[in-house]
Structure 1
Amino acid sequence: MRPLRLTAALASAAVCAISAPVAAMEGEAGADAPGDYLPSDILVVGQRDGYATDDGSSGTKTPTPLIDVPQTIAVITENQLDDQGITQLGDALRYVPGVSLDTGEGHRDQVFIRGQASTADFYLDGLRDDAEYYRPLYNIARVEVLKGANALIFGRGGGGGVINRVSKVADFTQPALAFDANVDSFGAFSLGADLNQPLSASMAARLNATYEEFDNARDFYEGRFIGVSPTVTVNLGERTHVSAFYTYDDDRRVTDRGVPSLNGAPLTGFDRTFFGDAAFNESESVAHIARLRFDHEFTDGLVVNFTGQFADHDKFYANVVPASATATTATLNGYTSGTDRQNRILQGNLVWQAAFGAIESTFLAGFEIGGQETDADRYNIAFANNAASVTVPLARVLSIPAARQTTIQRGSSSQLDTISGYIQEQLDFGPVQLVAGLRYDEFDLDTVNLVSGFAAGRTDRKWSPRVGLVVKPQESLSLYAGYATSFLPQSGDQFSVLDATTASLAPEKFENLEAGVKWSVNPSLFATAAVFRLDRSNTRAVDPANPGLTVLTGESRVEGFEASLVGRLRPEWQVSLGYTYLDGEIRSATTSAPAGRRLQQLPRHQASAWTRYDLSDRFGLGLGAVYQGKQFASVSNAVTLPDWVRVDAAAFLDLSERFALQLNVENLFDRDYYSSAHGDNNIQPGEPFSVRLGLKVKL
């Protein structure tokens, strides 16, 4: 605990030292209406609101300032994303301490939040977006990471936290048209367009579109992405609004599984070598997401909103993957996999704000109904002579026999139906605020194993409480403590198929205790610090008395400290700083690890810093750094990813009111590092030094 106390003291001293000379400046506006976390204040082009936000509505589904939400929430604004030249969700999350990245088998976003792995805790405007694919940011206004158990607001999963993307919306104030283009030193490039058009006094439309071609330092890596996202907002009177959204994302790329390990560390000297078959390794993902939202304000304090969403995901990937290595050889195997998924979600919320004497009340009542259909399969592959694996000499370009798909390994069809209801009360007594709520989830899953013919079903009914206390010695300072739970059925977060064991066992449970401080140094500068404990229980383990049985005695615990400072130190100087200390281990044996093992991909220390300083109205510079401590690639604790530091830089030049140039440099000092892993033998080398030049045009 000594590093934790030292870091807390240093963070507190730094915030106090900074606060005195900083002048108060205009902050970013929050949501316009209760329960509305689609920020209508976001403009199409030219907005320089900065890196800070005061909108905490995603954490409560009510119009709550971020300073009054009793949990840690990290927000990456559109301005910061633009300044860092980030277009993919995974790249953005590298600057969020407490989040580490899994390589996601080279075809999807996968994260660890406070030591908890997930492929499904992703949301779009507060609605579940749990398919396995890479999420672009061309149509996104900001990214929010809500840490800790979040079942009251988001339902199942989210034990360590959830990631919510907030969409860009149509703006009624002015027409605008913007284009951007960039190319990097590897030959990757992108083209983007952002068109906003008020169609009448009561209707506005917006279109975001992009085309990208991928490339990097890895041999044979390439791909392309097409994204189109129109949205329309209609005002049906002063108190009624309807918004329609549609997104088409088409992603095709080489499936890259990284490098294997050797002697407990990543295999070195082969960071550019492709451990796969360039003619075979491919990933194709097509997503259609359509959403309709209705908002109505009965009175100034009583509103309702209803949102319906349909999503269709069609996914296929094939890969030859590294399985192990010696000093002179590499062994590879692989498989192919396909998934077809349709999600249907209907969510409704009622928010009532009222005052009872000196007490202010914000009451939330809501429901969510969901249906999910998934067909998935996985096939074996073979090399020459029908061999399931192949061992080849190490070289810059591996000589691998051609791979082909063979017999089916597994196949499943599943139907998931959920019904949820929740209530939450926020009471404001002035210097003291109380947040308390309860959610009920009914989770009905039926699956068929298409290979064995085994059919199974399970129904889980869970109550998830949340309680938080906020004490405000002054309006700009809050001290808080919170408790929340979440759960995850034993079928895992993708719910593809049940077996005889997972069909009968109770869900895993997550309990999060957190205490912290939030300080609005001024309306454009926000500081936070928190300590937390996250306990995970009901994890599967082998029964010591009967090794043939599985019991729910596995437990793990993660404890940590977080601190951040985000916003403007001066009108021309913006910063985004963060640090996390994490300590976590298996406390009671699970099926995958004994007690005492450190959790996988849980670096003890993570830190990030990004700053932009405008030397004039037309010219600015950016500088950033990311540090990640050493971590184990898997819960085996057999392979260690070394610690690393990466420094990035940027320069911004406005040629005129319509034209701007931007230069981003990644890994300025060309350091070798290994950024993520998926198990002990799929380890992703970090990008070497690269330069990206961009042009922005506003018409």
Structure 2
Amino acid sequence: MVSSLIFSVLLAGAPQDTVRSPAAQPASAGRPRPDSAQAVEVVRVRANAQRAVRYTAPASRSATRTLTPLRDVPQSVSVLAAPLLLDLNIQSMAKAVEYVPGISMGQGEGHRDAPTIRGQSSTADFFVDGVRDDAQYYRDTYNVQQIDAVKGANATVFGRGGGGGVINRVMKRAEWTPVRMARVETGSWDQRRVSLDMGDAVGKVAGRVNLMYEASDSFRRNMGLEKWGVNPTASAMLGRTMVRAGVERYVDRRTVDRGLPSANGRPSALDTRTFVGDPSLSRASMTVDGAHLQAEFDNGHGFTLRSHARAFAYDKFYQNVFASSAINSAGTQFSLGAYSDAVDRRSLFNQTDAVWRAARGSLRSTLLVGTEVSQQRSDNQRLTGYFDNTATARAVPVGAPTVTTPVTFRASASDADNRAVANVAALFLQEQLHLGDHVQLVGGIRHDRFDLRVRNRRTNSTLSRIDNLVSPRGGVVITPSRTLSVYGSYSVSHLPSSGDQFLSLTPTTQTLQPERFRNREVGVKWEARPGLDVTAAWFTLDRSNTTAPDPVDPTLLLQTGRQRTTGAEFGVQGTPHARWDVMGGLAVQQARIVSRTSAARVGATAPLVPNTSASLWNKVRVLPQTALGFGVVHQGQRYAAIDNSVVLPAFTRLDAAMFLSLPRGLTAQLNVENLADSRIYATSHGNNNIMPGAPRTFRVTLGVTP
């Protein structure tokens, strides 16, 4: 049903990362347009060249919607290319952002990705090929070609939200180069995973399929997960038009683990393997069904029309029994709470981009005009857990934190039972103007009409709100040489009062204006040598229009709260030497409340934002068939919640790897995480859901690429 719906609404959208149709490449003056066979060969050569690239990605569509060299983007962008994903064995967003400066990942209540980007936490700032993927779940990388992290507000490209930045997954797709790859993985804690990536082409048509299955346990007791995904895609050349289509089903079922409670302002001394709560009742299941259809036409004379239609269906349920308080001052007991939550979301997106490229003398212009329309329908029901069918909390002794106890889940007066419908219509304009060889101006503006209607089934009431969001962006890039650029930029994003999941409205939030994010940034991007990029950025990000209590009447809210994040990010990525690949970064930042909000006092620090974080990964080929890897990840001291009452201690984790190339296209890979077996508290969700990091962990992967 989703697939047929997508095909019925095609040709009203724009792909975020569509490779230009080979038949649509501009022909040199006086040369004939390539025929179909030549066009397919262009794609084949490009794909082979891409395979030779290791840790660097010279260009991306994520920040501008046009394929732009990263040094010409007036914004901090970190790209995790496919070879890096494989070498680090990155299979989750949490693992990916460890090597992206300025981003940390929250615990997400044990069932969802929850990044904090430049001090702004979110569960919705995820995109797939530039299309919003805002449901709450753990994303896998089995079908991901690269991950782009765009930091700083950028609503001109992505629309509402994204106050601190966004994470865009660029997906694998059918090309005209044969693909044959299979991987089998095992390791500590009964980790078992298989994946398959196969593709080929016949004439003007190419096909590809990615498959994955995993069934694994955890160093945490009573834990387990099972997930699988299948993603077939196809591409076809139709004259000057490239058409791409695909469908996906992804299923994730796991035990919900919310970690350990705190004690005396620190993580408790409980064994880090201990499950807190009732594992038999703490579970989550997620099914994602998606389909997309893309088309790109190029007239060969500087005009491109791109379209992208995508539909998602998310079916999510989770329930949990978890620590709801800190361990008491006597160190003897703490409390448990419980609830369940179900969300069913149907999302349909259509994007359209028209791009004109022109040159006159020393001026070169890339003008983009685009539209986006979408509809998202969400049903959400939350139930409170009652222990022995009577109480919403139960005290448990510290010596026996894992329990099996009767819990009844039923609606309380404040539990949500809503149906939300969000309709968005957007129009945006962007100009990338080169003034000769050394100066580029980037400017854009976007208008979103965000129309939200929420029906509360418990009160049989309906509330609605319409926001008109205007988001400008401007930047200048100075390029003194072909290898160096210096930039400055200003950009704005908004978040409607319904929040990033837009699941509810109240009579109070219905009256509130959207929150506003303003990002000011300067930076340097330097190609220190061919294939080695060094970057630096300094930024100030202001969040305003957050709620604060009225000092005269505390029952009323004012929109006077403000938060400011200031900092610097440094990155290095690429190949310093023919035998050496490197990826790393350093972030120094402060995220403070500068005007009281409903959640925090003036001077409070945003949670999960270390003053200093750093990472560095190295891969060195010591022999023609052997390479070694070594990495370090450091996180400074962080607060677990906005009240700053619980501190997560700083940690430094050492990783290592060995890579072997064997006969007949076989490869073997050993990854060791936390080589020193350090005690780590990796992240949290509030003060009493603190997630320990894994002890020394081994992963062995056998691969074949005939």
Q: Within 5 Å, give how 1:277-426 maps onto structure 2.
A: 277-324=278-325, 325-326=327-328, 327-384=331-388, 386-395=390-399, 398-408=402-412, 409-426=415-432
The correspondence for 1:91, drawn from 91, 95, 105, is 95
| 2:84 counterpart SS class | helix
Residue type of the partner of 1:617?
Answer: P
Aligned equivalents of 1:552, 1:150: Cα separation in 2: 22
Is contact 1:335-1:380 (8 Å) kept? yes
Aligned equivalents of 2:477, 2:179: Cα separation in 1: 42
Is contact 1:31-1:55 (8 Å) kept? no
Displacement of 1:299 after TM fit? Answer: 2.3
Is contact 1:57-1:66 (8 Å) kept? no
Residue type of the partner of 2:477?
Answer: V
Residue type of the partner of 1:534?
Answer: L
Aligned equivalents of 2:271, 2:459: Cα separation in 1: 41
Is contact 1:30-1:53 (8 Å) kept? no
Aligned equivalents of 1:427, 1:407: Cα separation in 2: 57
Provide the TM-score with structure 1 as the length reference: 0.93
Is contact 1:561-1:580 (8 Å) kept? yes
Identity of aligned residues (%): 39
Question: Could you say which residue in structure 1 is the equivalent of 2:212?
Answer: 210
Question: Could you say which residue in structure 2 is the equivalent of 1:24?
Answer: none
Residue type of the partner of 1:230?
Answer: P
Aligned equivalents of 1:84, 1:680: Cα separation in 2: 30
Displacement of 1:269 after TM fit? Answer: 3.0
CA separation of 1:40/1:649 partners in 2, compared to 1, >3 Å: closer, same or farther?
A: farther
CA separation of 1:407/1:450 partners in 2, compared to 1, >3 Å: closer, same or farther?
A: same
CA separation of 1:481/1:46 partners in 2, compared to 1, >3 Å: closer, same or farther?
A: closer
Q: Within 5 Å, give how 1:137-176 maps onto structure 2.
A: 137-173=141-177, 175-176=178-179
Question: Could you say which residue in structure 1 is the equivalent of 2:487?
Answer: 480
CA separation of 1:300/1:332 partners in 2, compared to 1, >3 Å: closer, same or farther?
A: same
Aligned equivalents of 1:657, 1:328: Cα separation in 2: 60
Per-residue displacement from partner, 1:119-148 (whole Å, max 9, x unpaired)?
000000000000111110000000010000
Per-residue displacement from partner, 1:430-478 (whole Å, max 9, x unpaired)?
2111001110010000001111223100000011100000001101100
| 1:169 counterpart SS class | coil
Displacement of 1:385 after TM fit? Answer: 5.4
Displacement of 1:349 after TM fit? Answer: 0.4
Is contact 2:197-2:209 (8 Å) kept? yes
Question: Could you say which residue in structure 2 is the equivalent of 1:491?
Answer: 498
Aligned equivalents of 2:71, 2:50: Cα separation in 1: 27
Is contact 2:20-2:296 (8 Å) kept? no
| 1:182 counterpart SS class | strand
Residue 261 (structure 2) pairs with residue 255 (structure 1): no
Residue 627 (structure 2) pairs with residue 620 (structure 1): yes
| 1:153 counterpart SS class | helix
Structure 1: 5+ residue stretches without partners? 1-28
Question: Could you say which residue in structure 2 is the equivalent of 1:193?
Answer: 196
Query: Mean Cα displacement is larger for which, 358-367 or 545-554?
Result: 545-554
Displacement of 1:397 after TM fit? Answer: 5.8
Aligned equivalents of 1:162, 1:607: Cα separation in 2: 20
Structure 2: 5+ residue stretches without partners? 1-16, 26-42
Aligned equivalents of 1:41, 1:93: Cα separation in 2: 31
Is contact 1:230-1:247 (8 Å) kept? yes
Question: Could you say which residue in structure 2 is the equivalent of 1:233?
Answer: 235
Question: Could you say which residue in structure 2 is the equivalent of 1:457?
Answer: 464
Is contact 2:529-2:576 (8 Å) kept? no
Provide the TM-score with structure 2 as the length reference: 0.92
The correspondence for 2:76, drawn from 69, 72, 76, is 72
Aligned length: 666
Per-residue displacement from partner, 1:631-667 (whole Å, max 9, x unpaired)?
1001000000000001111000111141111000010
Query: Mean Cα displacement is larger for which, 269-278 or 588-597?
Result: 269-278
Residue type of the partner of 1:223?
Answer: L
Aligned equivalents of 2:44, 2:556: Cα separation in 1: 54
Per-residue displacement from partner, 1:263-291 (whole Å, max 9, x unpaired)?
00111232111112121110000000111
CA separation of 1:299/1:101 partners in 2, compared to 1, >3 Å: closer, same or farther?
A: same
Is contact 2:277-2:401 (8 Å) kept? no
Aligned equivalents of 2:237, 2:50: Cα separation in 1: 25
Is contact 2:117-2:151 (8 Å) kept? yes
Per-residue displacement from partner, 1:210-256 (whole Å, max 9, x unpaired)?
0001211101010100100010001002x210000211100000000
The correspondence for 1:697, drawn from 690, 696, 704, is 704
Query: Mean Cα displacement is larger for which, 651-660 or 410-419?
Result: 651-660
Residue type of the partner of 1:68?
Answer: D
Aligned equivalents of 2:49, 2:569: Cα separation in 1: 33
Residue type of the partner of 2:351?
Answer: Q
Q: Within 5 Å, give how 1:651-666 maps onto structure 2.
A: 651-666=658-673
CA RMSD of aligned residues (A): 1.8
Aligned equivalents of 2:19, 2:416: Cα separation in 1: 46
Per-residue displacement from partner, 1:379-412 (whole Å, max 9, x unpaired)?
0111225221111112366234232312352210
Displacement of 1:197 after TM fit? Answer: 1.5
Query: Mean Cα displacement is larger for which, 48-57 or 627-636?
Result: 48-57
Residue type of the partner of 1:557?
Answer: R
Aligned equivalents of 2:409, 2:46: Cα separation in 1: 48
Residue type of the partner of 1:586?
Answer: I
Is contact 2:317-2:340 (8 Å) kept? yes
Per-residue displacement from partner, 1:601-635 (whole Å, max 9, x unpaired)?
11000000001001122100011110000010010
Per-residue displacement from partner, 1:496-545 (whole Å, max 9, x unpaired)?
01000111111000000000000112331111001000000000111112
Aligned equivalents of 2:259, 2:237: Cα separation in 1: 50
Residue 184 (structure 2) pairs with residue 184 (structure 1): no
Is contact 1:33-1:63 (8 Å) kept? no
| 1:47 counterpart SS class | helix
